[in-house]
Every structure is written in C-alpha cells, then in structure tokens.
Amino acid sequence: MSETVLIRSQADEDTVELKHEPYRPAKPTRRGPGYLLRQIAGVDETILDWVPEERHRYSRLGAIVLNTGLMAALSMLALLGSHDVPIAALVPAALLWGYVILTFDRWLITDTHGSSGMGTGKFLARLAISILMGLVVAEPLLLWMFSSDVHTQIGKDRTTLLDTYRSTLKRCNPLSGEPPADASGCTKEYVLNVPGSPRPLLDSKKAAEDERVKINAAIADIDTEIKRREDLARQECNGTSGRGLTGRVGEGPNCRQLRGETAEYIASSNRPQRQDELNAVNTKIADIGAQISTASQGYAEAVSKAIKEAVDAKEAALETPGLLDQVRALSQLADQNVFVQLQSWLLRLLLVVLDALPVITKRLSRPTTYDGLLSRQLTISDKLHHKTLKSRSDQALGDLDVQIQETEHNIRVRRERIEEQGRDAEADRQATLDAQIEELARRLRGDS
C-alpha cells in the first residue's frame, strides 16, 4: 500500500510532480526526547516503525521508568546528604544508584515485550520486586522529609541517655564515700576509682562504734549486777522479808556479808577501766568524725568532677547519628504522632506505586500491536535460526563426507603406488639374480 503526495517543484512552481512514499514502515525517528524515552522502555525502533501510532504509548512508559530512576537518585542524594560525605561524591553516587534502579526497572518492562499477556505468577514476582525496590527508595526520602524532627528526637534520646548515665554514676558513687544504698546495675562501667575516699575512715568509725556498743553492754551488765547486789544487801539490812532474806533489821552477819560481796564484785568487775575504755572509744569516734568531715568535702568534689568527666567522655564518644539512629528516631516519632505515621505510610505507598507502576501498567494494558509484531519477528527469527543451523549442519556434513571420500581415494592411490613399486623392485631383483646365474653358468662352461 502506498500514498500519493503532491509536491510542488522548486524549479517551476507551475509544474506538479507525483512522489510516492511507502505507507509502512513509517519514516524513522531516531532523535528527540521521545526516542530517548522509548529506548529506556526497551523497544525496537525498527519494529515500532511499522506501528508509529504506538510511539507515544511507549514514550510514556519510558517516562514512568525514568521517574523511578530519578526518585532513586533523589533518595540516595538525600541519604548521603545527611552524612559527612564529600560533595564531590554525592552526585555521582546518587546517579549511579538511580542508574541501577532504572536498569532494573527497564529489565522488568523489556522482559514483557512481545508476550501476549503477563501470567499471574510472573506479575506477582515482578510486583514483589517492584514493591521491595519502592520501599528501599522510600526510606531515605522519609528521613529527609522529617530530617529536622528526626534530629530533634535523636538529641532528646541522647540527652535522656546521658541523664540516665549521670544518675547511675551518682547512685553507684555516693559523695559520702559510703557503699551505695541500691547497688543494682552498678557494674564495673559505673564504678569510679576516685582517690581520697573516706571509706577507710568510715570503716574505722564503724568498728569503733561496734566496740563502743560492746563496752556499753558490758558496763550495763556490771551496773545491773551491782544494783542487784546493793538492793539485796539493803533489803537484808532493812529487815525486808523475802526469799534468801532473814527479815531481821540491822547490820547482822548476812547484811555485812552481802555488802562485802557487793564491794568485792565492784572491785573485781573493772568498772572504772571499762569506763576509761568507753571514754577512749568516744574520743576516737569523735576524732574519726572530724577526719571524715574533712575528707568527705574533698572527696565529694573529686567524685562530682569525675562524674562530669565521665559524662563528657561518653557524650564525646557518641558518633554522628547514623542511618539506624535516624530510622529509630523516625519510628519513635511515628509512635508519638499519628500525623507523622500517616504521612510516612502515605509516602511509602506513593513511592511503591510509582516504582510498581510500569509493571502494573503493563499488566492492566492489552497486548499492543508492537507486542504482536515483536512476537512474530521473534518466532521468525527462531525459525530462521533453526533453518540456518540446519543448512550449515548439512553443508558441514556434506563437506565432511567429501573430505572422507577424498581421504579414502588418496589412501587407495598410495597403496597401489606402493604395491607397484614393490613389484618393480621384485622384478629388478629377479633380473639381477638371473644375470648372476647366467654369468656363473658361463664361467663354469669356460672353465670346463
């Protein structure tokens, strides 16, 4: 089929000539943005020239694939921009990642060209890959969108971490130098080795106080016994009736005996020495208390300084917030704020849909004329390849048969030549032998 186009000659405007151009294939277009987009979609332009009406369709499909690559590049740019990465490495890395995603999506689409339809299994597999890629692309963009709130949340988390660390240090390292009242969680990490602790003085004071308690108990026992004996002697002397008492008034033998026993007990009980020991222990406790007061003041300042230095060191050891820190902070924000959670999932869903859109579009669309042409061309190419291989195989087998026959012929010729040479050599040998016999016979006849 052809179409007739009227073209006015430039040489003579009054002359009209007829020029016939083929209707199909259409005039090729190998430039412009549409052509580049179709290359991204993975179409064969030589086949598409037969159905130029579908060029726009595949240009739009290529634009969809390009969008996913651009979103991936933007995602990587946002991710790297949140870290201490040289600016010279940002754009190449982002473009490389976008190219990887674009290439992968292009493969997902190109693989469906020429088929009459996409099976459910293939569609679900490609859709799952697209969803996975969409989620990977979405997360950095989410972090970039909420970057201000994310870094604020990270700051709060780190402040809470440092406050908890500081409070644990204070609990495990009392300023008084005494053992912590609650030692749970006081591992080696939280116990500070600060010199000048009043702990030995506190232990000495505790030992002195324990000794004072013992001396007081011993003195109390002596005083109780002295009082008991004095009361018993007084009752005997006063004539009080009772068990072990005579009931007679006056200083009788029993009265004097009880008083004497009381005096002997007082003399043997070392009550004055015990009192001196008690006074000495009280003096020692007072002296240690004064030393503790002096030592505690300096130790409390040293512990406070050590705690501050430990907290400062831990704060300095905290690295620049990484990807995991940002993801954790974003998750906390989503748990605290319904709006953040809703926006996060909406953006994820949007990017997943964008990345899966080429596959979904291909699934929902009817097979195009281009698909049919490509399918037929692939079928014809398969047949041509099969026929070509068969032709080459037959030719190679024929050549091999001829070569075998030539080889067999050459072998026969060489064998015949060798046999002929053998026969000639045998005839020469026989002739020589006959000549020798004749010569010998002639000599014999001459001699006789």
Q: Give me the chain's average pLDDT, please.
A: 80
Q: Can you tell me the distance from the alpha carbon of 134 to that of 82, in angstroms, rounded to the nearest whole number?
A: 20
- pTM over 0.75? The answer is no
Q: Are 36 and 18 in contact (CB under 8 A)?
A: no
- Average pLDDT on 44-51 reads 87
Q: What is the DSSP string of 6-18?
A: EEE-SS-TT-EEE
Q: Can you tell me the distance from the alpha carbon of 207 to that of 200, in angstroms, rounded to the nearest whole number?
A: 11
Q: Can you tell me the distance from the alpha carbon of 441 to that of 314, in angstroms, rounded to the nearest whole number?
A: 131
| Number of continuous H segments (helices) and E segments (strands) in the chain | 12, 2
357-382: pLDDT as tens digits: 777 777 777 778 887 888 888 888 88
Q: Can you tell me the distance from the alpha carbon of 249 to that of 13, in angstroms, rounded to the nearest whole number?
A: 173
pLDDT band at 9 (very low <50, low <70, confident <90, very high): very low
Q: Which of 115-119, 147-151, 191-195 has the lowest mean pLDDT?
A: 115-119
Q: Please report, as a single letter, which amino acid is at residue 295.
A: A
pLDDT winner (highest mean) among 27-36, 223-232, 248-257, 394-403: 394-403
At 409 the pLDDT is 92
H-helix or E-strand spanning residue 4 = strand 2-8
134-189: pLDDT as tens digits: 777 777 777 777 777 888 888 888 888 888 888 888 888 877 677 777 777 788 77
For residue 361 the two structure tokens come to 């579009």
Query: In the chain, what percentage of residues exceed pLDDT 90?
Result: 6
- Average pLDDT on 16-45 reads 77
Instruction: Tell me whether the omega of the peptide bond preceding residue 25 falls within 30 degrees of 0, making it cis.
Output: yes
* Residue located via tokens 């995991």: 324
pLDDT band at 406 (very low <50, low <70, confident <90, very high): very high
Residue 436 zone, left/alpha/beta (φ > 0; ψ -120 to 50; rest): alpha
195-251: pLDDT as tens digits: 766 677 777 888 888 888 998 898 898 888 888 888 888 887 887 777 777 777 777
Please determine, for residue 427, whether its predicted confidence score (pLDDT) is greater than 70: yes
For residue 59 the two structure tokens come to 């240009």
Q: Can you tell me the distance from the alpha carbon of 235 to that of 349, in angstroms, rounded to the nearest whole number?
A: 104
HSE (CB half, 13 Å, CA atoms) of 407? 6
- Average pLDDT on 287-304 reads 76
For residue 150 the two structure tokens come to 């994310």
* Residue located via tokens 């043997």: 268
For residue 164 the two structure tokens come to 């908890």
At 418 the pLDDT is 92
At 407 the pLDDT is 93
Which carries the bigger pLDDT value, residue 250 or residue 313? Answer: 313
At 8 the pLDDT is 45
Residue 17 forms beta bridges with which residues? 7
Which carries the bigger pLDDT value, residue 72 or residue 214? Answer: 214
Closest-CA residue to 364 (of 159, 194, 123):
123
At 84 the pLDDT is 66
- Average pLDDT on 342-352 reads 81
Please determine, for residue 23, whether its predicted confidence score (pLDDT) is greater than 70: yes
Please determine, for residue 34, whether its predicted confidence score (pLDDT) is greater than 50: yes
Q: Are 149 and 335 in contact (CB under 8 A)?
A: no
Residue 4 forms beta bridges with which residues? 20
Which carries the bigger pLDDT value, residue 440 or residue 358? Answer: 440
In 26-41, which positions are buried (b, 16+ CB within 10 angstroms) versus exposed (e)?
eeeeeeeebbebbebb
Question: What is the length of the chain?
Answer: 448
Q: Regarding beta strands 16-22 and 2-8, do their DSSP bridges make them parallel or antiparallel, or are they unpaired?
A: antiparallel
HSE (CB half, 13 Å, CA atoms) of 90? 13
Rounded (10°) CA dihedral 70, 75, 78, 82: -150
Q: Are 262 and 226 in contact (CB under 8 A)?
A: yes
